[in-house]
Amino acid sequence: MNSPVTGGPLSGLRVLELAAIGPVPFACMLLADLGAEVVRVDRPGVPRAFGTWHRVLDRGRRSVALDLKDPAAVEALLRLVEGADILVEGYRPGVCERLGIGPDVCLARNPRLVYGRMTGWGQQGPLAQAPGHDINYLALSGALHAMGRAGGPPVVPLNLLGDFAGGGLPLAFGVLAAVEERHRSGLGQVVDAAIVDGTAALLGMLAGMTAAGEWRPERGVNLLDGGAPFYDVYLCADGRYVAVGALEDRFYAALLDGLGLAPDEVPDRTDRAGWPVLRARLAACFLTRSRDGWAAAFEGTEACVTPVLTLEEAVEHPHHRARGCTTVRPTESSGPRRYRDSGAWRGRGCRVRRGCWVRLGWRARRGCWRCRPRRVWRVRLGWRVRGGCWVRVGWRVRWACRVWGAVSRSGRSSRRAAACRRSPARPGTASDRSAPAHSCGGWHSAGPDRRR
């Protein structure tokens, strides 16, 4: 019999994340979902660009505010580096070096540190210092040119391809590979992840098809870009769409059978010259029913026909609900906010993590409410959990003001800690919601990041 899971596979791995956008928080979200202890370092008093977009990507970690232009804050960060396994930053090349927190400095303080760097163009090259976003990196890599309808302009694939698939995933994979190598060498290393490099790796199969003469440079005329009528989306009677992916022969036969078409009634699908006629026949058939009607008709078949769902519809789909990959959780908005959740940390034990504030109506961020609801009673209104000891909200014990015990206690942090002890805050009060994090490295913030 399998023993219950008490932590993710990365439990015990300590990650420092210098706050950024796009691929950096995505990569750190994956690490946190797998059990790593991630601490995000924010700039005090400066709202992060597109910060509200990253509420889901920021899940699973605590945050501390450090002004890295202040030498004292730089020293505080370097003390954190001494106890960290991974540091991840997404600044332009040379910024960390100018701040005094570059790879050479950090590896001198902690030779086992894995230093992950995330940029769009890479640390070297003619464009290394140029600004850019997902669409620019895709354009230069050749990926953007390949997507779109025949005769039309390239189609932007959101930022899923560059930021996340070509940036965040290689970053997370690279730093974990470096951690694995550290077990043999005993030393850390620098991981240079660039979106243009990751996207180039994703284009490997397309490059192979081009070299073999099976992919033409024109958009919308190839097997996987919507050019093939049996691999495309079709409009239905209600104005919504279905996706068709009947590449293999038996799947294509099931598609024709579901549409009521005989093989001899349509052109041979291996003849590209007949694709326009075949597409017209399929399009006419799909216009005879609604999207959900076709979804019901093809359910349980091998036709590879699925409805094209909106994000709201996808959250409610029975398959996603059965797998637990979507979650509805309360927020401070007027109603429930739905978002994607990998679910990788479900069942990660029943321990309430340090620094997690508990309020009436909220459950422990990484507690046991999903895996063992019967133990939620341990989280009590107005209390914090320290190991097995109950500590009142607004009070601090010495360890609670530390990040991995790495930051020394300055006079300023001591005064602020004393102020917290003199003025206990009740859950839900203004002081509980908005107490700012400060640059001494102490965890005096009860901001919304630790209450979602």
Cβ atoms 39, 61 nearer than 8 A: yes
Highest mean pLDDT among 201-205, 357-361, 433-437: 201-205
Polymer length of the chain: 452
Contacts of 135 (CB under 8 A, 6+ apart): 144, 156, 159, 162
- Nearest-angstrom CA–CA distance, 269 and 247: 10
Contacts of 342 (CB under 8 A, 6+ apart): 30, 33, 325
Instruction: List the catalytic residue out of 67, 133, 320, 449.
Output: 133
Does 133 participate in catalysis according to the annotation?
yes
Query: Tokens 């999207």 belong to which residue?
Result: 291
Mean pLDDT of 353-373: 35
Partners of 376 in the beta sheet? none
Cβ atoms 247, 180 nearer than 8 A: no
* pLDDT recorded at residue 47: 79
Backbone angles phi, psi at 176, to 5 degrees: -70, -35
Mean pLDDT of 125-148: 95
Per-residue pLDDT tens digits for 386-417: 343 333 333 333 333 333 433 333 333 333 33
- By C-alpha distance, which of 30, 33, 36 is closest to 10? 36
pTM (2 decimals)? 0.71
- Nearest-angstrom CA–CA distance, 379 and 17: 28
Above 60 in pLDDT, residue 181? yes
Binned at pLDDT 50, 70 and 90, residue 328 comes out as low
* 406 or 270, greater pLDDT: 270
Per-residue pLDDT tens digits for 97-113: 999 999 999 999 999 99
Instruction: List the catalytic residue out of 58, 134, 163, 192.
Output: 163
